[in-house]
Amino acid sequence: VYILTQTRVKEVRKGMEFDSHGFSIKGRLTPDEVTFAVLRTLALAGGVVALFLVPLRPEHREHLFPLIAAFIGYKGLLYLSLYLKPEKARRLFLLTLSFDLAFVFVLIWFTGGFESHFYLLFYLLIALNAYHFGARVGLTAASASGILYLFAYFLAPQSALHWTHLAARIALFGLLGVSLGFMADRERKAKDEAERLNRELEEALNRLREAQQRLIHSERMATIGKMSAKVAHEVRNPLSSISLNAEMLEDIIRACPGPFMAEAAEILASIKTEVEALGGVTEEYLRFARLPRPKPEDDSVNEMLEELLDFIKGEASQRQISITRTFSPDLPPLRFDRALLRQAVLNLIKNAFEAMPSGGELVVGTCYRDGQVQVTVTDTGAGIEEGFLGRVFDPFYTTKDHGTGLGLTIARQIIHDHRGTLTCQSVPGQGATFIISIPKGEAQPYA
Amino acid sequence: MKDEPRANLLIVDDNRGHRQALAKLFSKEGYKVALATNGEEALDILSKDSFELIITDLRMPRKGGLQLLKEIKALSPQTMVIIVTAYGDYISYHEAMRGGVFEYLNKPIKRNEILAVAEKALIWRKAIGNNLE
């Protein structure tokens, strides 16, 4: 029985791993409980089948069918209860143990008392319950079986067997219950310990994986930073001489008016525009390359945002964009670097402005949720397709003609440096929301 | 005005295009311009000639702009130095200011901006010189 049960546990466990959403009772009970339920059913169904085969006493034959009906009804009730209240499985199993014992008792009584071989079912019940619940329940089941067996012995007509046989059988009940129970207890402890170690190992592995991801991310950012600085440096030198030369050329063109000079002036003006745009791009590259570490101080996020929104009010009205502020008055003070967080939110606002080329509404809000101070920036622009949501923070990813693809990367880096997260939600066609979450407790930036 | 240059100007920049653009711009404005490609070369030229104004890059091989600034100020404190850099940051800005730089500009620069700064540097130089006398 022990080996059989072990094998079943393994099989059921394997089944659970592959199909945890399969049979609903399986999903709601532990693998051990499922095994236990299956074995009980097998044991007692075997008993019922045997009832048809063994010769019954004539006076008991009439009780056979009501007994089987009662047994089936009782089993149905048990499984229904297990399905409805899986959390009470232990209690239900203990409760039904007493019914099962009683059933075996009736079986023995009806089939000849001491002469009946159904006393073997007591062993099965004791073994199963000792294995499942441990030594204490094992011993209780053995004692109950002993007492019931004695009753059956006295109720049925006496047999020729000596009382010592009865005593030996009852003593074996106890021995089986206690020894198997202890073994099960020991195995359960070992299993719990192994599971605990496994959990710890998994947690450590997850932490390690996270640290590795963070390291890879920061190394990648550092490399991109160096590259940005190099590109900016290499571009700004020739850009400066192009700019100076263009301006000198402008002087020459202005000094000699002629039929072609108007066109030349136009061409020059477009060169100057491009140079200016390129200057702005390299500016952003350098800002990314030189992003300083935050120097956090206790400050008010609402105040910082009020000041920032006042600053961009003019540009917003030029772009036909209305600004709505939904600040929580109960926002606790937070430790953050005002200049950097301002930069991050400004980048999100710039991004929102560019998403609404023909005007719209910008909503900037704050709230305090689950120990996190949150800032949300919502626009009513075109939104972001689901497939691109994961990429908007990638360095150099842009959908704009003149974008550097660094604005949102810089914003996210700043938030990460504050141990926070920056995420994006969007319904295409209805706009996008960027959510900054910074934990209130964690004041220290990454070392 | 053509006979008498407005000032002696030394331009120090390892980027050839930028060096030449500045040289052309200032020559046209009546400055007498000399050129160097790095700090060491600039100090060589300075040992032979005297300059009222030096416009130098920051990052150059052999000797950079900050070291050059230090040595020029030790040699002749009245010489005005303007730093023009493609890779400006707060630390080098701070150091340059403490080293006595007249102005610190980021590339790309504008013609009017650099001319005005040069003009202003010369006025300052004159004022300081008068005060010292």
pLDDT, one tens digit per residue, over A219-237 is: 888 888 888 888 888 888 8
Mean pLDDT over B46-55 rounds to 92
CB-based contacts of A107, cutoff 8 Å, min separation 6? A47, A51, A116, A118, A121
Residue A10: the pLDDT is: 41
**Mean pLDDT, chain B, whole residue set:** 89
- Give the length of chain B: 133
User: What would the pLDDT profile of A197-222 be if each residue is shown by its tens digit?
Assistant: 999 999 999 999 988 988 888 888 88
Give the separation between CA A441 and CA A443, rounded to whole angstroms. Answer: 6
Contact between chains at A236 and B17 (C-beta distance less than 8 A): no
Q: Which of A231, A237, A291, A340 to mutate to test the interface with B (most CBs of B within 10 A)?
A: A237
Report the pLDDT value the prediction gives residue A47, as an integer from 0 to 100. 66
Residue bearing tokens 């974008």: A403
User: How far, CA to CA in Å, does A188 sit from each of A179, A181, A193, A196, B69?
Assistant: 14, 10, 8, 12, 78
pLDDT at residue B41 is higher than 60: yes
Residue B133 reports pLDDT greater than 60: no
Q: Given this model, what pLDDT does residue B102 score?
A: 94
Q: What is the largest CA-CA distance in chain B?
A: 42
Q: How far is A395 from chain B (nearest CA, A)?
A: 21
DSSP 8-state symbol, B77? T
Could you tell me if A93 and A36 are in contact, meaning their C-beta atoms sit under 8 angstroms apart? yes
Window from A344-353, B36-45, B85-94 with minimum mean pLDDT: B85-94
Q: Which residue do the tokens 């570490």 mark?
A: A293
Residue B18 near chain A (CB below 8 Å): yes
Which of A229, A238, A248 lies nearest to residue B25, judging by beta carbons?
A: A248
Residue in chain A lying closest to B17 (CA): A241
A236 touches chain B (CB under 8 A): yes
Q: Are A414 and A291 in contact (CB under 8 A)?
A: yes
B37 SS3 class: coil
Residues 6+ away with beta carbon under 8 Å from A261: A253
pLDDT score for A158 = 62
Chain A CB within 8 Å of residue B113 CB: no
pLDDT at B109 over 50: yes
Q: What is the CA radius of gyration of chain B?
A: 14
- Cβ contact B18–A240 (<8 Å): yes
Q: What is the mean pLDDT of residues A240-251?
A: 91
Q: Residue count of chain A, please give it.
A: 447
Range of weakest confidence among A34-43, A52-61, A369-378, B59-68 = A52-61
Closest by CA to A39, choosing from A170, A103, A131, is A131
With vertex at residue A425, the alpha carbon angle to CA A424 and CA A429, rounded to the nearest 5 degrees, is 125
What amino acid is encoded at A146 in this protein?
Answer: G
Lowest-confidence region among A78-82, A331-335, A368-372: A78-82
**Among partner residues B15, B87, B111, which is closest to A247 by beta-carbon distance?**
B111
Interface residue of A228, A244, A247 to substitute, partner B, most B CBs within 10 Å? A244
pLDDT tier, A2 (very low <50, low <70, confident <90, very high otherwise): very low
Q: What is the band of A27 on the pLDDT scale with cuts at 50, 70, 90?
A: low
B78 SS3 class? coil
A12 pLDDT higher than 70: no
How much is the pTM?
0.57
The predicted pLDDT at position A57 comes to 67
pLDDT digits (tens, 9 = 90+) for B81-102: 999 998 877 888 999 999 999 9
A232 vs B contacts (CB less than 8 Å): 86-87
CB A406 within 8 A of CB A395: yes
Tokens representing A415 are: 């938030």
A-to-B residue pairs, Cβ atoms closer than 8 angstroms? 59
Contact B108 A286 (CB under 8 A): no
CB A440 within 8 A of CB A414: no
pLDDT of res. A43: 67
Q: What is the pLDDT of residue A445?
A: 46
Total Cβ atoms within 10 A of residue A278: 18
